[in-house]
């Protein structure tokens, strides 16, 4: 699949659609007076819409001793998903950024030895050093207190029943829904690991400076495809990042040519934000609709307005037809397709979240794993 044909065609369609939206808004303003700025998002999907991802209630193996299925807690803890949903809604109402933080916790958990709750374990030096102090996680991951509060409520309702790993998977879905994104049925039945891997967290998690080839390889290393990588990158439609994460963009544009006034304005606004902050200032990953889960992230990439170098790289010519595996895909073409139609993005994102949620190592990490009473520590009887 040639980048010059596929990507350019879809990108031109997006550009035409954006011009049409802008023209329509201008016409409306002439008739009705001043109005709020136009949201250029090409959202054709329905916020919170359920998507079918073709697995029904079937059960699937996610590692020795772990069997995942929809409705795993219907009999043992009927209120489990409602408790998680209510906890997520309260947390996001108090801090809208928390939706992205909870979603990110699930990502960072699954990429290190599978979705086993290992990212939640506290360090107990010198005997145990977990994943929280890994370079991608230290002073970056947040939301642990929210997980603690939800887990405490689950333990009161159904003691030693709902694993911390399942809690993260459900909370990630609910964080997307409360932000306006799609919903899907979460498979459950994961066990919590009794171990964690600092080395795995440092090695497996993609860096914000990664290029397309590196991103694809990181995802393939854990069993996910290049298409999964592009779809799951759309999680950056919500949340924030520190200046230290996108400093390469401020210096060189990360290989992107900032040729238009809008592009230069974006870069200059970031430079102004970060100057004098020692890299601690935060910027929205999506400046247009920062708290809404939509496809604006991909529209931003087509305009050269991706925040992280790893984001903007997806829309570069190097993102087309990456070789090296059975899932060769036109990465930049997918970016353009998702920018054109939010419903396509929603469908693929839900499918990829389902695939990522199945990642696990044998026995959930340590024998058959366990259901932790406190997500920060292994059970004392283990």
Q: HEC string of 80-93?
A: HHHHHHHHHHHHHH
Q: Is 109 annotated as a binding residue?
A: yes
Q: Is 354 annotated as a binding residue?
A: no
Q: What are phi and psi of 290, to 5 degrees?
A: -65, -25
Q: Is 116 annotated as a binding residue?
A: yes
Of these residues, 74, 106, 108, 354, which one is catalytic?
108
Q: Is 9 annotated as a binding residue?
A: no
Q: Is 123 annotated as a binding residue?
A: no
d(C-alpha 370, C-alpha 382), whole Å: 8
Q: Is 206 annotated as a binding residue?
A: yes
3-class DSSP state of 224: coil
Neighbours of 286 (CB within 10 A): 28
Q: Is 182 annotated as a binding residue?
A: no
d(C-alpha 168, C-alpha 175), whole Å: 10
* 322-325: long-range pairs with CB below 8 Å, 24+: 322/212, 322/213, 322/216, 322/226, 324/213, 324/216, 324/217, 325/216, 325/220, 325/226
d(C-alpha 106, C-alpha 166), whole Å: 9
* HSE-CB of 104 using CA atoms within 13 angstroms: 21
Neighbours of 379 (CB within 10 A): 13
Separation of CA 70 from chain center: 21
d(C-alpha 312, C-alpha 250), whole Å: 13
Q: Is 48 annotated as a binding residue?
A: no
Q: Which stretches within 111-260 are classed as H helix?
A: 144-157, 164-178, 198-204, 212-221, 226-233, 247-252
Q: Is 78 annotated as a binding residue?
A: no
Q: Is 148 annotated as a binding residue?
A: no
284 counts as catalytic:
no
- As annotated, the active-site residues are 108
Task: Please give the annotated binding residues for Ca(2+), written as ranges.
Answer: 109, 112, 114, 116, 118, 131, 237, 286, 289, 294
Provide the annotated binding site for substrate: 206
Q: Give binding residues as ranges.
A: 109, 112, 114, 116, 118, 131, 206, 236-237, 286, 289, 294
- Which residues define the annotated binding site for heme b? 236
């Amino acid at each position: 699949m040639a980048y010059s044909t596929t990507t350019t065609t879809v990108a031109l369609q997006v550009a035409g659609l954006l011009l049409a939206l802008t023209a329509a808004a201008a016409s409306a303003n002439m008739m009705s007076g001043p109005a709020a700025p136009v949201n250029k998002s090409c959202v054709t999907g329905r916020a919170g819409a359920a998507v079918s991802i073709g697995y029904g209630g079937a059960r699937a193996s996610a590692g020795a001793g772990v069997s995942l299925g929809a409705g795993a807690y219907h009999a043992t803890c009927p209120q489990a998903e409602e408790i998680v949903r209510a906890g997520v809604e309260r947390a996001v109402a108090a801090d809208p950024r928390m939706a992205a933080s909870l979603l990110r916790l699930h990502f960072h958990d699954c990429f290190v030895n599978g979705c086993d709750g290992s990212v939640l374990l506290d360090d107990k030096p010198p005997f145990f050093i977990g994943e929280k102090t890994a370079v991608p996680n230290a002073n970056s991951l947040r939301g642990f207190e929210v997980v603690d509060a939800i887990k405490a409520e689950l333990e009161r309702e159904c003691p030693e029943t709902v694993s911390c790993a399942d809690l993260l998977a459900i909370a990630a879905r609910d964080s997307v829904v409360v932000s306006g994104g799609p919903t899907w049925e979460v498979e459950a039945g994961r066990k919590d690991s009794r171990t964690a891997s600092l080395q795995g967290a440092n090695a497996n998690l993609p860096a914000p400076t990664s290029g397309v080839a590196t991103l694809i390889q990181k995802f393939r290393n854990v069993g996910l495809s290049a298409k999964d990588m592009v779809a799951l990158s759309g999680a950056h439609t919500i949340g924030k990042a520190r200046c230290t994460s996108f400093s390469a963009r401020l210096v060189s544009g990360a290989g992107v040519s900032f040729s238009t006034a809008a592009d230069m304005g974006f870069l200059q606004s970031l430079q102004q934000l970060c100057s004098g902050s020692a890299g601690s200032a935060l910027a929205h990953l999506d400046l247009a609709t920062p708290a809404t889960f939509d496809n604006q992230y991909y529209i931003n990439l087509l305009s050269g307005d991706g925040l992280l170098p790893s984001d903007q790289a997806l829309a570069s010519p190097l993102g087309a037809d990456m070789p090296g595996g059975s899932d060769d895909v036109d990465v930049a073409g997918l970016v353009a397709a998702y920018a054109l139609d939010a419903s396509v993005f929603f469908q693929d994102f839900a499918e990829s979240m389902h695939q990522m949620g199945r990642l696990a190592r044998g026995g959930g990490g340590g024998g058959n794993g366990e259901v932790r009473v406190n997500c920060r520590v292994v059970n004392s009887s283990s």
